[in-house]
Amino acid sequence: MAVMCECPVEIAFDTSALPDCKEISHHEFLSSFLTDQALTDLSLLGNDGQVVRANRLVLAARSKVFRSMLLGEFAEARKDVIPLNYQGCVLQAILEYILTDSAELLRKGTLLCYSDDGDDDEKEDSNINNNITPSYSSNDGGDDNDNNPFERVKTLVSLMGAAIYFNLPLLCEKVFQHLAHCLKKEPSLSFAVLEAYKQEAPAIPTQLKNLAMSKLSTNIENLDEKCGVSLLSASSLEEILKDNTIQADEQNLFELVLQWAEQEEDDDDNHHHDRSLAASEMIQHHVRLDWIDPEYLSTTVAESNLVSQKSLLEAFKLQALAAKKQHNVVFRRRRCQPVWNSTLSEMSTAGEMRGVDMLQYPSMSSGIHRWTVEVVKDVTFTWLGVALPSKPLDLHKWLGKQDAGWAYGSNGAACHQTDTYNCVHPKFKEGSRVTMTLNLLANDEEKNGTLSASVDGGEEFILFDNLRAQLVPGQEDCGFVPAVSNRAPAKIRLIDIERLC
């Protein structure tokens, strides 16, 4: 006898019978703390007079600093108005982030440096409703710098410092990534980032300064507009001129100083005079006038009134002596590609016995560095890697067998302090291009510093790890350098090298 099973019937609940069935969403609930003044119980007073209304329990729930400040034994716990040394818009962004994990200052297009070309490098945060009204008021009737991208950069750097102060590390990271994306789109903003960093330091991590300097070092000759240089203080501009990583013609660097000296200022003649004197000092100490085209030297430089007649005559004298000696004046670049010790060129050549050749490049003790070499001629095995000159290193012996050497061979082996070949990695050959990546970031705790490689654009693989343990803390000049180990007539050519961060 068959047994009939009843299927469960879903019964829908009819909310229309309830007196008021409309319920706000979780997002609307959080947003209400930004828009509903009735839910606020204190005011954050910015250093520009702007007031941001907030709820002390909301602030304390997200930030340990606010918790100590507003619920602890500090005087602020008994006040309704809390003065803070940040702009009102920065405090508003802090409040927005605490409630929504985002902030209007970080929305796409804020710096006017994004294009509508479908770039997905950085997705737009969408947690904040576009119709939300900021919960702050201004005593000056508005900010005239809202459309000034350079002022916005300074505001973002200030937000980065505020995020660190209020113990919001993820917000700090969001601001850094936002600025990095903007500098990728508009490198000229690097001037503003550099100056804003100096104004906020030491509250801001040096990563931001390194980011700005790296963008300037690779783009300073190609910037169509250098209007951002006017934002720099004399010390910031001098730091750029002294940076050994910047590859630029002396003429280009002179123009940079000239633009800085000639920027439009107020009617304070004394200020303009002081700026001209500072520019003259920088040119005298950091610009090689004899490496500038003599026609440009005799016109633009001479007419700038920033260079003395004595300095001009000395530059022309050096050019004349060079012309006499070489029969042709050669105008050198200020910065040259790093060269190998064996040849003082981008091509490394080996001797009869397999030895070590190192690149003349600043020692690598932090950050991420990447370089690419081409195997022009391979004999027996070619070995690529890094050396640590702070340890005993024999330049006449094979790199992979030494305590100061880490070598990756064309046979696929990776060797350090051993002559045993463990050929488990991809091989390379004559004509191959091998890209090496040295990652010495401190946050890479699992691997603690790695050397990786990829062959002819292939997938990257790790050769060695725990390299940070080889470094001596506090001795930044005692780091790794790119190295090769082969025998004649093998040849290795450096394609490029850069510090990524």
Closest alpha carbon to 156 in 129, 178, 133, 130: 178
Identify the pLDDT of residue 472: 82
Q: Which amino acid is at 346?
A: E
Identify the pLDDT of residue 106: 86
Identify the pLDDT of residue 20: 67
Round to whole Å and give the CA distance between 148 and 181. Answer: 18
Closest alpha carbon to 49 in 79, 85, 78, 75: 85
Q: What mean pLDDT, rounded, does the chain reach?
A: 83
Identify the pLDDT of residue 3: 57
- Domain range summary for the chain, segments of one domain joined by +: 26-221, 233-326, 347-499
Question: Is the distance from CB of 150 to CB of 193 less than 8 angstroms?
Answer: no
Cα 269 to chain centroid, rounded: 37
Identify the pLDDT of residue 477: 74
Contacts of 471 (CB under 8 A, 6+ apart): 365, 440, 449, 478, 479
Identify the pLDDT of residue 122: 43
Low-confidence ranges of the chain (pLDDT < 50): 114-134, 136-142
Identify the pLDDT of residue 133: 42
pLDDT tens digit sequence for 446-497: 778 999 999 999 999 999 999 998 988 777 778 999 999 988 888 999 999 9
Round to whole Å and give the CA distance between 333 and 346. Answer: 15
The CATH classification number of 26-221 equals: 3.30.710.10
Identify the pLDDT of residue 139: 46
Please state the CATH superfamily assignment of the domain spanning residues 347-499 in this structure. SPRY domain (2.60.120.920)
Round to whole Å and give the CA distance between 309 and 317. Answer: 12
